[in-house]
Amino acid sequence: MFIIGVGKSFQTIPFMHASFREIDIRFQFRYHETYPKAITLVSEGLIDLKPLVTHRFTLEQAQEAFDTASTPAARAVKVQLLDDVLEE
């Protein structure tokens, strides 16, 4: 997990949960130079963002999209609303 811009002086982190699941936690205190590095990594193909969009909906399916985004069982990472027809 990468945390950017921690705002409060004290944070509550579920340490045992992270430890048990062997989750690495890293912090970036400031945003300086964060976005240019990320854009470079994506543009050079070193990071593929497509798997992060787990659900796609048309505008007509907006209610279903919001329901999916707010339902933990759907396991949605990123729900995208498209302004054109979905390709089958």
Cα 83 to Cα 45, 61, 65, 67, 86: the distances in Å are 26, 11, 13, 18, 9
Q: What is the pLDDT of residues 29-88, one digit of tens each?
A: 776 777 888 889 999 999 999 899 999 999 999 999 999 999 999 999 999 999 876 555
Choice between 2 and 47, residue whose per-residue pLDDT is larger: 47
Task: State the pairing for strand pair 53-58/2-4.
Answer: unpaired
Q: What is the pLDDT of residues 24-45, one digit of tens each?
A: 888 777 767 778 888 899 999 9
Task: State the pairing for strand pair 2-4/26-28.
Answer: parallel
Q: Which two tokens stand for residue 54?
A: 């787990």
The secondary element (H helix, E strand) that includes residue 43 is: helix 34-43
